[in-house]
Structure formats: C-alpha cells, structure tokens
Amino acid sequence: IMYAKGMDRITELPTFIIHHIMSYLSAKEIARTSILSKRWCLFCISFPILEFDQCYFLGKAITLMDISDEKKFMAFVDASLFRFCKLRFRMQELRLFQSFLDVKGSAPLLDKWIGLAVDNGIKDLVLMVHNMTQEDTVCILPQTIFSAKSMATLSLFGCRMEQPSDTTTIRLDSLKKLTLENVYINDQMFQKLTNECPSLEDFEISACWGLKNLCVSKAHKLKKLAIYTFYKDIGIVEIVVPSLQQQLMLTSVWFMDEEFDRFISKFPLLEDLLLRFCRLPEKVKISSNQLKNLHFNSCENLKAIDTDTPNLLSFTFSYDFNPIPTIAMNALSMETLFFV
C-alpha cells in the first residue's frame, strides 16, 4: 500500500504480522514476494512455514525426473533449511513432498532435516515421500521425530515407521492430530505410538500395512477417529476409547453377527458415526442419546437398522447395488433424511 509521500506502510509492520499475512498465500505467491525488495526477501527467508514440493520446484512430472533432478531439489531444501535455522526462528510448519530415486542415499539428508525441524521447535510436520524405483525399499522415518515435544500435528505418507531403539523414548507430549497413510507400521509400534501420545485427539489411519491387529485403548483424550481401507491381513479391530466424542469413521471394516452392537456401545459420547464399505451383520441396533449424525455408505449384508437415537439430526443411507434395509427409528429431532 503506497501513500502520498511514497511510503510503503506494509513493510513497516512487525515481522510476525507480515508472516501471519503470508500464511494465507500459496508457496508460489510467497516466492514471488521475495523479489519485491531486500526486506521482503528477508521476510521470505524467515517465514516459519516451510514448504518444499519437488514437482513444483522442478516444474516437471515425477515420471520425468532423474537422479540429477533429485539431487538438485535436495540441495535446495538443505540450503533453505540451513539458512532458516541460522536465524534462530522457531519453525511453525514443515511440508515436504518428495519422490526418491535413491532412498538409501537420501536417508542421511532426510534425517538431518527432521533433526533441524525438531531442534527448532516444529509445531506441524507433513512428510509425503514416494519410492520411484522398482526396489522394495521404503523411506524409514528418522527416529529423531519421536523427541519433538512441541509438535502438535504429524502427517506421514509413504514411509516406514520402525520401533524406537532402546535409547530412544517417544516424547510426543503435545501431539494432538496424527495422520498415517500408506505407512508401514507393525502391531508393537502402533501400540507404543498410541499409548505414548497423551494429548492425541484426532487420529486418521489409511491403507497402512504391517498391522495384524489394530487396537486403540489408551488414547484417553481421543475425540475423533477415522479408519480407512486396510489390507486383508488385518485380523482384529478393537477400539476401547470412551472419550471418543466428535466422530468415528470406519471404512472396509468387517463385523461378525453381534460384534458390531458390542463395538458401538463402547462410545456413549459419540456424535457422528460414518460407516463406508463395511461388512455389517444383517441387523444393526444403535442406541445413543448423543448421536447426531449417522451415515451408511455401501455397507454389505445389512437388512435391518434399528435406532434409538432421540437426538439424531441427520441420517444418510447410500445403497448402490444393495437393497434398502428395513429401518425403525426413534429420532424425534430428525432434520434431514437421505437415501442416495
């Protein structure tokens, strides 16, 4: 904003306000501001939300990249992180989107970057990685991440989460939201992770592999849980979290006979229940004074739904090729009813 005397009032604002304004811009728009002036270049260098997208940086599709492209991108990320950390600013968020042609060779740099983020008090971390080679190699999550005491949000895609070493303790005390998608994680690591994140409120797990049994029992503050499509080797899904309140979403989970009724009775505070592509018993009975939204989407085997839910506001049933079941409802507060 230029005034009559040619004064630029925007750049006179405190740095933290400028950074707040910049947080509403895309990474591309932020990069453009760096050429406005030396001061704006400094704003960009010190901006605490760092995003590195390999495709955007190189300007080409993943399938067209070679090893030299990978090295060029990683050199850019390394230099940018080093430059930011020299300023001794607290890192608010790091987003890294990368496809690897050399998983093992790139591991030391990835370990270094995560270490820098943890040392700079990272709040939110998004790590999306992909192996571009034919080798059966998965990027291993650096164990330094388990000491990120200030991190509130962690989103992982495509990596391998291994059991911490004997000298490493999980100290994710502030973690409130955790997303795992296409991540390798075994039963022991899954239990350890959910048991040792005392502040966890929102947990989403999708298409993860390595699990035989999925059990969540000690996440005492959990309010929202989403379980998406699993591989067929999942044997047991057991969730014992009475605090679950906001939402439970299940996709491709199979229930036998009366198992579903026992399962759903464990969540007396639940407000939203979404079931997608689940295998349910022929008759489902749901009784809850708290439930407000109930959605069935393409669930198999279902022939009758009996609900005692006086505060239910919304009911949706998507049946695709399945016949519409018999429905008996006690829902005095019902506002919307959809069959699609």
Domain ranges of the chain: 8-47, 50-291
Residues 6+ positions from 289 with CB-CB distance below 8 Å: 309, 310, 311
Residue 264 pLDDT greater than 60, yes or no:
yes
Mean pLDDT of the chain: 85
Nearest to 90, CA basis, from 164, 16, 197: 16
**pLDDT value at 186 more than 70:** yes
In the chain, the percentage of residues whose pLDDT exceeds 70 is 91
pTM: 0.83
| 6 confidence band (pLDDT: 50, 70, 90) | low
284: left (phi over 0), alpha (psi -120 to 50) or beta: beta
Is the pLDDT confidence value at 3 over 70? no
Give 32's contacts (C-beta < 8 A, 6+ positions apart): none
Higher per-residue pLDDT: 169 or 291: 291
Overall fold of domain 50-291: 3.80.10
Instruction: Using DSSP, state whether 328 is helix, strand or coil.
Output: strand
Contact 260, 282 (CB under 8 A): no
CA dihedral 82, 113, 94, 177 (to 10 degrees): -150
Q: For 182, phi and psi rounded to 5 degrees?
A: 50, 45
Residue 323 has pLDDT above 50, yes or no: yes
Average pLDDT over every residue of 88-96 = 90
Reference 265, options 239, 246, 283; nearest CA is 239
pLDDT (mean) for 78-102: 89
